[in-house]
Structure 1
Amino acid sequence: MSDFILSIDGTEAGARLALILALVSAVAHASFGALQKGRHDPWLSRGAIDACYGMMALPMALLLTPLPSAGLWWALAGAWGIHVVYKFLQAMAYSRGAYTVVYPVARGMGPLATVALAGIVFGESFSGGQWGGVALLSGGIMALAAVNLRGHPLGWRDMAPAIGLALLTGVMIALYTTYDAWGIRLADDPLTFLLWFFVVDGWTFPLIAAWRVRTQRSPASPLRPLLARGLLGALIAFLSFGAVMLATRLDKVGEAAALRETSVVFAGLIGWLVLGERVGPARAALMVVIALGAIAVEFA
């Protein structure tokens, strides 16, 4: 697989595959966030997911890829630190606010900040039409959060701390997307960075979750459903994170990041078509705006 990825890097075929991978990541990510904010405490859910993907990645990393070089180990250490801060902020936001408000705020902040960072780090440039697409996409996502907040029993004042944490989470999304794109380009074999990242990243939150249960900061949960959530979340994480990272390896980081945030559209469609949730005209219109923004980012 790595040989194939490297063979089409920088080609038109690579750009097409990057588009597909970014959209696959968006579909996967639409269900990943809901797993962490389900009926289990978000700290415990995150701990279960991380433990599962760390244990699943270790044998694959040892069997399928070489050990990282010294420079790549340092890059992985930096990625670990950034992701720990990101997950702390995300769990704190989920603990304090409604998922339907917190999630769109965080994801709406991400594309604008990522495009700006990618321009600084990788020298990427966007046309005026593409910047308009990013503005449409991020604005539509933020407006979706405002619509969800308007219909929520908790008002703006009660939700303000969670929204502030969600904005900081969005900044960290941009930082880890840009940093990880640099890391995967640093590796000779893209799979080496991906698999060893999951190994390095997989031990921190299980320890935090265990500490929270022991100190009763989080209520204990039945083990079997929590493990089932962890296994499912791990598989989705492999698909979601792996796909978007390969997309950033093959094409522009900013474009991949923007397309991934169409996950809020897919989340709405899943809720409507699968779960029978009511979308309403305002949410439907905003989903169209977000989709148009993504189209402009890719094709303007």
Structure 2
Amino acid sequence: MSDWIISIEGTEAGHTAAMLLALLAAFLHAVFGSLQKGRIDPWLSRGAIDTAQVIISLPLALFLVPWPQGTEWLLILGALPIHFTYKLGMALAYSRGAFTVVYPVVRGMGPVFTVFAAWIVFGEVFTLTQWFGVIVLLMGIFGLALYNLVTIEVARETLVPALWLAAGTGGLVALYTTYDAYAIRATPDPFTFLAWFFVICSVDMPILAALRWRRMSDRPDPVHLARLGITGALIAFGSFGSVMLATRLDKVGEAAVLRETSTVFAALIGWLILKETVGPRRIALMTLIALGAVIVEVGG
């Protein structure tokens, strides 16, 4: 698999594969976000997911992929503080705001910053048509967040701090996307980076979750929590792995923009699973998001 991935880097086949991987990452990321915002405390759910990630990925890292060499260790370790801060922001935002309000803001802040960062770090340049697509996509994303903010009826007293947290966390999305794209490109075997990333960058939240568990009087069912952790870990492998491979195969900026169609999937999940209201206005805004992604892809 590694040899095939490396062989199609920068080719038309690599471009097509990157597009499909980014869209797959979008869907899986929305599913992952809904798991963290479900009925279980978001700190515990993230802790359970990260615990499962360590348990599953450790034997893969030890026995199935080449070990990192030299500075490759530093690149993987450097991802830890970035992702830890991002996960803190997500948990704090989800604790204070509705999923359909918080999620679009987080994801909407990322694309523009990532496109600029990709220009600075990787020398990528968007065409005017692609920038128009980004604007259309952002109109849909922030329009969706604004509509949800106006119409939501639960936890309104904590929505403003949730939105500030979501905006800041969105900036961290751009930071980790750019950093991880650089790191996976600098690692000869992409699966070496992915396997060790899930080991090293998943040891933080289980500690916080354990401390929170000790202070809780009404604890969730451990069996249900473990099932959620395993499910979330498998989804995270697919989501993060897909978008990281996409950034190695093709442009980082395009992968970042396509991934933000996750807000469309998130709105559908919020409606179908979390029982949050969806109407014709939201459908129109979700159409804008999808249209913007299509324009970015076609205009490249």
TM-score range for the pair, normalised by the shorter chain length: over 0.9
Aligned to 1:267: 266
Residues 192-221 of structure 1: per-residue CA shift (max 9 Å, x gap): 0001000101211101110122244x8522
Q: 2:29 matched to 1:29?
A: yes
Taking structure 2 as the reference length, the TM-score comes to 0.95
Q: How much has 1:272 moved relative to structure 2?
A: 5.6
Does the Cα contact within 8 Å between 2:99 and 2:270 map onto a contact in 1? no
Does the Cα contact within 8 Å between 2:104 and 2:144 map onto a contact in 1? yes
Q: 2:280 matched to 1:281?
A: yes
Aligned to 2:257: 258
Paired amino acid for 1:40: I
Does the Cα contact within 8 Å between 1:41 and 1:219 map onto a contact in 2? no
- Cα distance, 1:9–1:52 mapped onto 2, change above 3 Å: same
The 1-side partners of 2:218 and 2:202 are apart by 22
- Cα distance, 1:206–1:275 mapped onto 2, change above 3 Å: closer
The 2-side partners of 1:272 and 1:169 are apart by 24
Q: 2:172 matched to 1:172?
A: yes
* Aligned pairs (5 A) from 1:42-191: 42-154=42-154, 158-191=158-191
Q: Which runs of 5+ in 1 are unaligned?
A: none
Q: Which runs of 5+ in 2 are unaligned?
A: none
Paired amino acid for 2:261: T
The 1-side partners of 2:31 and 2:41 are apart by 17
Aligned to 2:235: 236
Taking structure 1 as the reference length, the TM-score comes to 0.95
| Secondary structure, aligned partner of 2:66 | coil
The 1-side partners of 2:272 and 2:44 are apart by 29
Aligned length: 299
Residues 149-173 of structure 1: per-residue CA shift (max 9 Å, x gap): 1111258764111100000010000
The 2-side partners of 1:273 and 1:89 are apart by 25
- Cα distance, 1:277–1:169 mapped onto 2, change above 3 Å: closer
The 1-side partners of 2:253 and 2:135 are apart by 13
The 1-side partners of 2:267 and 2:210 are apart by 33
| Secondary structure, aligned partner of 2:152 | coil
- Aligned-pair identity in percent equals 58
The 2-side partners of 1:54 and 1:109 are apart by 29
Q: How much has 1:96 moved relative to structure 2?
A: 1.4
Q: How much has 1:281 moved relative to structure 2?
A: 1.1
The 2-side partners of 1:264 and 1:139 are apart by 12
Aligned to 2:289: 290
| Secondary structure, aligned partner of 2:68 | coil
- Cα distance, 1:99–1:78 mapped onto 2, change above 3 Å: same
Residues 43-63 of structure 1: per-residue CA shift (max 9 Å, x gap): 000000000011100111112
- Cα distance, 1:158–1:177 mapped onto 2, change above 3 Å: same
The 2-side partners of 1:198 and 1:85 are apart by 16
- Cα distance, 1:151–1:143 mapped onto 2, change above 3 Å: same
Q: Considering only aligned residues, what root-mean-square deviation do their CA atoms show, in Å?
A: 1.7
Does the Cα contact within 8 Å between 1:181 and 1:253 map onto a contact in 2? yes
Residues 125-171 of structure 1: per-residue CA shift (max 9 Å, x gap): 00111111111112211110111111112587641111000000100
- Cα distance, 1:268–1:89 mapped onto 2, change above 3 Å: closer
The 2-side partners of 1:159 and 1:279 are apart by 19
Paired amino acid for 2:101: V
Paired amino acid for 1:32: F
The 1-side partners of 2:270 and 2:214 are apart by 35
Does the Cα contact within 8 Å between 2:106 and 2:170 map onto a contact in 1? yes
